[in-house]
Structure 1
Amino acid sequence: MSTTQQSAVRPDPAGPQSPVRAPSLVALVFLLGVGPFATDTYIAALPDLQRSLSTSAAVAQLTLTAFVVGLAAGQLLLGPLSDAWGRRRLLLVGCALFALLSVVCALAPNGPVLVTARLLQGVVAGGGVALARATVTDTHRGDRAAATFGLISSITFLSPVVAPAVGGLILAHGTWRTVFAALAGLGVAMFVAVLLGIRETLPRHRRQPAGLRQTGARMADLARDWAFMRHVVLVCLATGGFFIYIGGSSFVLQSAFDVSPSTYTVVFATNAAAMAGAGLLFRLLVLRVGAVRLRTVGVVASTVAALGLLGAALADPATVPLAVPWALLCVVVGGMGFTMPATTALAQEAGRRSAGTAAALQGGLSFLTGALVTPLTGIFGYDSLLPMAASMSVFFVAAAVLLYLVRPRPAPAA
């Protein structure tokens, strides 16, 4: 492990780690990639859902919002619990509940039942995200953990592209209820993958006391630790800039550049592929270059591209072809393919003493940040590129400034 990483980690009070089998890549991909499949696969069916349940468009949209809120809450709730109870049991129960709640969604007689089931479904899915990260921290250290996060990321980054296509295929032969039936099958597959591919990675002698007070104490301990929280704040800032792109790019490009929905799909898929490719490149380079340096590359690339996008937005719109914002957004998103796995690994390393709680804080807080900033472009307007470009630039510049302020200082000469 590099000197930079060692300086960010406190000694593990449990002592040296016992050797345990690393979790299955297939199981990790299931756990970390389930979110997009549980949302994007049925977005196109929302109007049909509204008519079928004789409810309002707001309630139909709330079925998405409830799941997203549950994802964040599940990470914050179940991640810390796993430091006391272990990972495997919670994962198995969570996968089983995900499948069961998917069946409830498929059979929901009205909007309130569906919204409630979606909220609970999000909670167990979010718990799976936090616990999957914790199992990697339990079994890997330093840049090897970063390499694993990079490999997982390169696969899961494609989920938002694959999920709508899968949803379209299902809806071509069924209804929104069929989508949830398919998600029930996905829950069963997750359960089998965890059962066969993930052993308990947190032995009993390394577990921490259970109870609300003890859990709160672990969260407070990490929240007061700047060696850990600096990574969380940075990932929240980068996630904020990224989610502004997610929430606003479709409206902005279609409004300001007269892009058709099909063309936008190509733009989005290309950018997602760039992010996945960057994640794979991160996996190949991190053992030689280190997570700290690669994160710097990712943050700087995204920041420079966001500022370039702001410059393009301030220029005469008639002189800016679609290729310019497309290329710049591709670099912004591609940079996240370095930033996300690197920061995840560095945060988990710094919070190793309570890996489940660390995963909960960084995942839950960054997800909440993304959910809160997504509407910004809509608030400031979709008619030009400027609001989205300015908002993204603010977040990425802040991330770059934080990265500069917390960069390791050379030791003074003797």
Structure 2
Amino acid sequence: MTRSIAMRRASTAALYVVIFSSSAMMRICDPMLTVLAHEFGVTTGQAAQTVSAFAIAYGFLQFFFGPAGDRWGKRRVIACGALATVVGNTLAASAPNLFVLIVARMLSGAAGAGIIALTLAWVGDTVAYENRQAVLARFLSASLAGLIAGQLISGLLTEQFGWRAVFVLLIVLFGVSGLLVLLDPALKGDLRATGPSRRHLQPIVDVLRIAWARRILMIVSVEGAFALGAIAFLPAYLVSEFKLGISGAAGIVGLYGVGGLAYAASARWLVRRFGEARLAVLGGGALAVAWMALALAHHWWLVIPACTLAGMGFYSLHGVLQTNATQMAPAMRGTAVCLFASALFLGVFAGVAVDSLVVDRFGFRPVFAASAIGLGLLGCVFAAAIGHHRRSGGFAPLD
């Protein structure tokens, strides 16, 4: 009995490590773009294909992981995905050229695609809606810690030991934490889909038939394009425009995650104080101010408060979107949340692809200005959509 409890606690801790590592893995290439461009003799925009390749694989594989989590148990699928990322990161650590590195990043994105989304869906299965925002905020803290540490450690390791060392660290983190989650005896009790097995795409079709789900998916894809697409270029912007070192640039961009931690610490109070619609407007407004400040900054120290504000604004807006995503289709929550993640990262792919062309031709600032305008408008559009959904009889837990 004691051994079983110890294994369960180790598995829960390992789940936080998996979330941490998954978040770090998403952004580790951002600080090394200038180094990759120099080593492989390409432009910064071409090196950014390591970011977009990860995003498109991560987005498309949600179509597999959502139904798989509903069918076989969410934490079991999370553990298998974590262990599978070891293959992609091993290939990345030994990549002889940019093409192989891009393929490796695509494999890593495919393997880790279901980790965060299925964790959110698992919380949705096990936590009442009125408490869900606070529980999600704790997992968000692990994710944000990964974002901060991923940026910072990637910058430090790249500067001191070379970019390959970053992928070696990910191999260790995913290997150990994935095994601990997989060995948890409580996995047998994970909620799974009941009833006869349906065609693999049928749950996806069922979710997409829901008008509110389609609206959430469209909004989060635009959010991904403007917010997470642009942030990929922030470290390179600081190195290129202000001549900062890689680790210094990565540390400043890590403040995006610090702003997110500030949101996570106050999420329950913010939602109760402002309600979901007003919080979405505030998040979009903060993003607009922050990204416009980044577009207009002429001193590197101005980037520090701008990055922090951008992080708090993004996670305020995204937190409302994320909480609504867990309630889009309760009977198919794993599929619904994975579709949400798919829309987000396909948006990131589109954003990075377009931003790469703009950066190579016109520089970084137009990308940041476009993000400011787009995200400010998006917060208002989402708030209006929430109001319309509530008036038409939709789920209204907190406003």
* Counterpart position of 1:226: 211
2:333 alignment partner AA: A
**Cα distance between partner residues in 1 of 2:238 and 2:87:** 39
Instruction: State the 1:40 CA deviation.
Output: 4.3
Structure 1 residues 167 and 223 mapped into 2: Cα distance closer, same or farther (>3 Å)?
Answer: same
1:334 is matched with 312
CA distance in 2, matches of 1:116, 1:163: 20
User: Share of identical aligned residues, percent?
Assistant: 21
Q: TM-score, normalised by structure 2?
A: 0.77
Q: Partner amino acid for 2:64?
A: L
Q: Which runs of 5+ in 2 are unaligned?
A: 1-7, 394-399
Residue 298 (1) aligns with residue 279 (2): yes
Amino acid at match of 1:81: A
2:368 is aligned, of 388, 392, 395, to: 388
After TM superposition, the structure 1 stretch with the greater mean CA deviation from structure 2, 43-52 or 26-35, is: 43-52
* Aligned position for 2:267: 282
SS at match of 1:71: helix
More deviation, 295-304/363-372: 295-304
Query: Per-residue deviation at 1:343?
Result: 2.0
C-alpha displacement of 1:302 = 3.1
Partners of 1:22 and 1:207 in 2: CA distance: 28
Q: Shift in Å at residue 397 of structure 1?
A: 0.8
Instruction: Select 1:94's aligned residue among 72, 81, 92.
Output: 81
Contact 1:75 1:129 in 2 (8 A): no
Amino acid at match of 1:394: G
Contact 1:305–1:328 (Cα < 8 Å) also in 2: no
Alignment of 1:127 with 2:107, yes or no, is: no
Amino acid aligned to 1:246: I
Contact 1:82 1:131 in 2 (8 A): yes
CA distance in structure 2 between the aligned counterparts of 1:200 and 1:221, rounded to whole angstroms: 27
**Cα distance change on mapping 1:280 and 1:221 into 2, 3 Å:** same
Larger CA Rg, structure 1 vs 2 = 1
Does the Cα contact within 8 Å between 1:239 and 1:370 map onto a contact in 2? yes
- What residue in structure 2 maps to residue 363 of structure 1? 341
**Cα displacement string for residues 32-72 of structure 1 (whole angstroms, at most 9, x for unaligned residues):** 333443354466667877899xx664886544443332222
| Deviations 1:58-91 (CA, angstroms, capped at 9, x unpaired) | 8865444433322222322212222222224323
Q: Which moved more, 1:354-363 or 1:263-272?
A: 263-272
| 1:344 counterpart residue number | 322
8 Å CA contact retained: 2:31, 2:249: no
Cα separation, 2, equivalents of 1:237 and 1:396: 12
Q: Select between 184-193 and 361-370 the one with higher mean Cα deviation.
A: 184-193
Aligned to 2:378: 398
**Superposed CA offset, 1:304-352 (max 9, x none):** 34554688799xx79x877777645543431222222332122112221
- Please report how far the alpha carbon of residue 244 of structure 1 lies from its aligned counterpart in structure 2 after TM superposition: 4.8
- C-alpha change, 1:269 and 1:70, in structure 2 (3 Å) is same
Distance in 1 (CA, whole Å) between partners of 2:195 and 2:172 is 34
Does the CA contact (< 8 Å) of 1:85 and 1:210 recur in 2? no
Contact 1:153/1:337 (<8 A) preserved? no
**1:368 Cα deviation after fit:** 0.9
The answer (yes or no) to whether the contact 1:299–1:336 under 8 Å persists in 2 is no
Q: Which residue, 25, 34, 37 being the options, matches 2:21?
A: 34
- Cα distance in structure 2, aligned partners of 1:327 and 1:30: 28
The aligned amino acid for 1:261 is L
Change in CA separation of 1:297 and 1:249 when aligned onto 2, cut-off 3 Å: farther
Kindly indicate whether the alpha-carbon contact (under 8 Å) linking 1:28 and 1:152 is maintained by their aligned counterparts in 2.
no
- 1:199 is aligned to 2:191: no
2:105 to 102, 118, 134: 118
Q: 2: distance between equivalents of 1:311 and 1:356?
A: 36
Residues 113 and 47 of structure 1, relative CA distance in 2, 3 Å threshold: same
Between 25-34 and 102-111, report the one with greater CA deviation: 102-111
> What letter matches 1:129 in structure 2?
I
C-alpha spacing 1:114/1:200, structure 2 compared with 1 (3 Å)? farther
Q: Is the 8 A contact 2:230 2:351 kept in 1?
A: no
Q: Which runs of 5+ in 1 are unaligned?
A: 1-20
C-alpha displacement of 1:221 = 1.3
Q: Distance in 1 between matches of 2:130 and 2:156?
A: 39
Matches within 5 A, 1:26-105: 26-38=13-25, 40-41=27-28, 57=42, 62-105=49-92
Task: Provide TM-score, normalisation by structure 1.
Answer: 0.74
Q: 1:182 to 1:203 in 2, by over 3 A?
A: same
* Alignment counterpart, residue 236 of structure 1, candidates 218, 221, 232: 221
C-alpha separation between the residues in 2 aligned to 1:313 and 1:47?
Answer: 19
Q: 1:141 aligns with which of 112, 122, 128?
A: 128
Question: Secondary structure at the residue paired with 1:299?
Answer: helix
Q: Which moved more, 1:146-155 or 1:296-305?
A: 296-305
* Distance in structure 1 (CA, Å) of the matches to 2:322 and 2:250: 28
Q: Match for residue 242 of structure 2?
A: 259
Aligned alpha-carbon RMSD (Å)? 4.0
Indicate the residue corresponding to 2:3 in structure 1.
Answer: none
C-alpha displacement of 1:162: 1.2
Distance 1:201-1:409 versus aligned 2 partners, 3 A rule: farther
Q: Which residue of 1 aligns with 2:148?
A: 161
Higher mean C-alpha deviation, range 163-172 or range 303-312:
303-312
Secondary structure, counterpart of 1:374 in structure 2: helix
